[in-house]
Structure 1
Amino acid sequence: MEDITIDTEEIQLDQFLKWAGVLASGGEVKALLAERRIKRNGETESARRRKLHPGDVIEIEGMGAWRVAKG
């Protein structure tokens, strides 16, 4: 699992995945959500604009896991 540092109190899921360099576009996020491959804190996620906070863990099936960290 890789820690990804943000400078704000929260960040949207799609912005986080782009910031981390995991995905290049919001369209990729939308497709993975439709395939139910993204989990937030162990639960399947359905909203690409879900607010993430430090400590949240995002997992993408077949790609890896990232933790939101406060910088």
Structure 2
Amino acid sequence: MTTSVKALARNLSRIENTFNYSFSNGPLKGTINKMKVIKRVAYGYQSFLNFIYRILVSCNLMQKSNLANIDRVA
């Protein structure tokens, strides 16, 4: 019990900040997890560029219609 009280006292300012600010690292962790899943599945991709495109499309950073234009330029 005393260990819990000491831990609360030591982290009181951090605990208060969770109620005062609405920041969360949840969205970032979700994006990183999505990238890791794509990486696990991406062993069959022919090129690293396809892997990067897949991440960009999955994270809504690029639309599929833009990929066709990039392939024509390259």
TM-score of the two chains, using structure 2 as the length reference: 0.30
Structure 1 or 2: larger helix share? 2
Structure possessing the higher radius of gyration over alpha carbons = 2
TM-score of the two chains, using structure 1 as the length reference: 0.31
